[in-house]
Structure 1
Amino acid sequence: MKDYKQLAMEIVKHVGGKENIISLTHCVTRLRFQLKDESKADDEILKNMDGVVTVMKSGGQYQVVIGNHVPMVYADVCEVAQIHAGDHTDQPKVKKKPFDMLVDTVSGIFQPILSVLSAAGMMKGLNALCLAMGWYSAGSGADVLMTTIGDAMFMFLPVILGYTSAIKFGLKPFVGLVIGAALCYPAIQASTLAGAGEPLYTLFTGSIFESPVYLTLFNIPIITMDYTSTVIPVILICYLASKVEKGFNKIIPDLLKFFFVPMFTLLISLVIGFILIGPIATYGSNIIASGIMQVRSFSPMIAGALVGGLWQILVVFGLHWGIIPIYINNIATLGFDNVMLPFFGGSFATTAVVVAMMIKTKDKKLKQLCIPASISGFFGVTEPAIYGILLPKKKPFMLSCIAAALVGGFYGLFNLREFAMGGLGIFGFTTLIDPVTNSFDNMYVGIIGAVAAMILGFVFTMLFWKDDTKEVVVEASVKPTELLNKEIILAPIKGVVLPLSKVEDCAFSQGILGKGLAIEPEKGEVVSPVNGTITTLFPTYHAIGITSDSGIEVLIHVGMDTVQLEGKYFHPCIKQGDQVHAGQTLLTFEMDQIKNAGYSLLTPVVITNTADYLDVMETGLENKEEFLTIIR
């Protein structure tokens, strides 16, 4: 990758230095500075600088036009000017409900690790299958090795999520990694401390908030929990750390930042995290456990429905630990558990929902994710399905919870019991056999419930989940034509075709970004002008970059200064990296709303790698379907 550090240093210098920069964002082709004093910027030097196309001033912004590689230049400018990239990108700031924000954040953090998470889940399932078939015995070298490979991802999940959370929040990635590692450190785990000796004292003895205290910090009690395999604690601490790091970057001198910013960031965020998150999670778990026991005292069926329906939600928040001690204690003292077991149908409901989505969706990438997620789900490993598929789509997650709740109520009504802590998923059925009477009746209840969970999850998804992936039907009339040394680019928007000179933005009108045409839209829909790949989908959705299968780079920029809308009124139908066909809908936009907001809809369509070709002919003025002709 080309290094733009020198260019970034020159840009920062000639916009008046980092002290003159209030904020910095970027769109698809230009850096957008908000400066304290624009008179301090040297327009002529910037315009004549290698790597800078031109300079523009518009809408209170000082714009340095770079070209398609602006994200790389932007990253280097942020580093040089010590601007926090995570807080200064042009992300759409559409108001969302708190739950939606949490779901979007969690699923975004999991996105980079889904393939490895699915692989780990399949390894756990494969190990369980090998043990069940007797191919090797429990505790053998093969079992230990397979368990290590399968469990490592889940055991040290906070370490991995610390890294991806840091990237999400704009924190230095290795700071996030250390935060996750600290949460997994053996000496801080509640189970380790409990096994090491008696607590120093116990808080709130006799209440649901009873908490043994093994550690203190200057007499402040540290109420611990088992952080391994958890999700929410590391995300919360990394979010806090991103704010702490940003604050210290402002006040610590440049000479000392390299060491002291990460040191203070780790110290403050982890101390606050351990002191606050432990108690919050512990007390939340205790309240839930107490509530379930209270409900069970008068209605086992309702309690079962609560456990079944809420279990996956509790796992996401790490609050399921409040019920697990009840489960362990019941098996140890009574020989069975019937309080926590109603969650048993949840993995089957989740698996069936994923299978239904795999059948129903037209999204090839989603289908690919569904296959390993459903396989690991049958073995009771549902993390790949929950975090990679159900949570991002939201409705399927709720449908799986509803199916699990109904089956949980069934299990509660028929008093389903588990007699040993054993396998998950299909391998959990053997733990339902009564060891005293050798009766299979209890196991039959478990099997009936599991089948019901799968049927309900599958049917609910087929009936109530709508796949938003549009099926692409490409007719012969919309296929790009390649004849010897020319290629046709089709019009991406229906409307009046105009020369680029009619565009007010000189970066387009002067052909700085490449040759092309402009369209005054008559319909709020953008279709692909070529067969190719979406190489750029800007977060505010106003601009799309497509590279054709033959290498032509097409930029479609809907409207003028519409980046300021921050995604409002734009509705993408594709994702960056998607393969598309000519004529496929890429984006819809609300024309009237955008016009009423005061923005022009005149849309430039340019070939950004014009220099790679002999000529780009503007055929669209005469033929609205054959928009541009590329001469090789």
Structure 2
Amino acid sequence: MSYNELAKEIIELVGGKENVSSVSHCITRLRFHLKDEGKANTEALNNHDGVVTVRQSAGQYQVVIGNHVPNVYQAVVEEGGFEAQKQQNTEETEEKKGLFNKFVDIISNIFIPILPLLMATGIIKGFNSLFVALGWMETTSGTYQLLNAIGDGFFTFLPIFLGYTAMKKFGGTPFLGMAIAAALVHPSLAGIAEGETIKTLFSGTIFESPVQITFLGIPVILMSYTSSVVPIIFATFFASKVERKFQAIIPTVVKSFIVPFLTLLIIVPITFLVIGPIATWIAQSIGAGVSAIYDFAPIVAGIVIGGFWQVFVIFGVHWGLIPIYYNNLAVQGSDMLIAMTFAASFAQIGAVLGVWLTTKNKKLKRLSFPAFISGLFGVSEPAIYGITLPLKRPFIISCIASAVGGAIIAVTGAALYSAGPLGILKIPTFIHPEQGITTGFWGMLISIVVAFVLAFVLTLFFGGVNRKDKGVTVVDEENKDQTDENPVIAHATETAQAENIVSPLNGEIIPLAEVPDQVFASEAMGKGIGINPADGQVKSPVNGIITTIFNTKHAIGITSDQGAEILIHIGIDTVQLDGKHFTAHINQGDQIKVGDLLVEFDVDAIKKAGYPVITPIIVTNSNAYGDIELTASKQVNQGDLLLITKK
């Protein structure tokens, strides 16, 4: 398919050129301002072989194309007779984010780094409760107490870990955030809080608080900050602002210790006096509000939360509920909110099993089994993005089954009693630490079985897996009828060769699913891997040609001599820096060899500006390969093997 043919179809599907107010592009997507977005055929665009996906955000209708977007954009301008816009140097968004989007971005960046540890310690704590419930050990035994310390220690001192990640997100010094949190959870203050009350503040109100100590004569309301979430996030936000002010005025020769000295001296007392109590009251109010909604209509809450959870995940808005989950555990000792979503991954794998048994597409069948296994352990993204969502009906069926499962969990009163992993390993976290196995636990087991079976049966009979109009985006080299319908993909399949792609960076490997950008994490742009860079040099991972280098220098498109199309995206949302802290050593069209210096960037300055430097390396023409093998290493150096494309 030529770019002009693709452009004609895109213009038609967005409602015709008369529906287009303006069009521009970034490194991966066309950005339309439409007069009426309702006239656009989003479903048809999502199913189009030349389109990766469609996103609608802040008045923009974004058609994600991939590395070829400059060519497609030019064709769209020509075909539609549009005026060429100044190239917009945006990858994710250049428009102002709404308050909720900002909130979700902050929360995801704060919690993503600690999720593996939360899962690991949750497994230990959950199984410890299981062993007690089964009578295998007593709570007084040394074995129990040691395992409990391992499982509970991380959650008890959670504010210290959040202090690091939150301060990093807000552009401050992470260890300064840890120091603030350490003061909040200092054990000596817990003893003082149980001492003699010298006065009471806000008597007769819901905020009535005893006071045991004063600071410079000002009453201090001592709260319990162990396991808390909200207070440290508020405290680090203000601390990052104060630190930046001092960084700007303190002489360099004493800056390294005077800045943290003054920041701690100001923020820690203010946190104990003002920020901590207010944040704690907010947290308690949120917990009470969630409980009130749940108590008012538990079955409705279960249907809504359970049924829409996977939709929340797709759009990334589930991060808005995660802090409520941890807050409930800290304030109430249990959580019902996220508990109602537990059946979702089991509904998803039930639908995947139905697809696996009915599909005639060989590649789809091959993908279904690993997606089923990962979904069993709660990692449902491969199932959602690779199997059920492209097929549509199985995804809708899984949401229905998840809603039924959520209702069962809500009605039986199932709750989570500790943070933990996903999938089947999360089951023990539903065991009450004191009462053992309760009715709610059995309700949870019933819910996941019902959700799984219901999704499986409905997909088997009503999934429409082999409908000719389904628009499945999975390419199967063995089914020539699919590649013949898409000459672009067919050509790529023929020309792209197996190849070793080396690392362009020194740093820590980050699985793509953990990259804090949904387009990359979902593999919508292609398969790949993330790197948290140790320094600021990007070198060529292949021999080839520079096909794209943006004015902002934050993103590089490369086509290797063997046909691999590679996108290196330095940081997340770093386009908003408008090229600041980046230096490019290449131009579009340059021939490059492995190890050639492409771009230099200032890691510390970018972090200080508040942007993650995690860098996705994506093979954007992944469909041209039978498989792409990722390195198993946790750390890589430039030149180390990173990816292997296989035919």
Normalised by the length of structure 1, the TM-score is 0.47
TM-score by length of 2: 0.46
Q: Larger RCO: Structure 1 or Structure 2 (Cα < 8 Å, ≥ 6 residues apart)?
A: 2
Max radius of gyration: which structure? 1
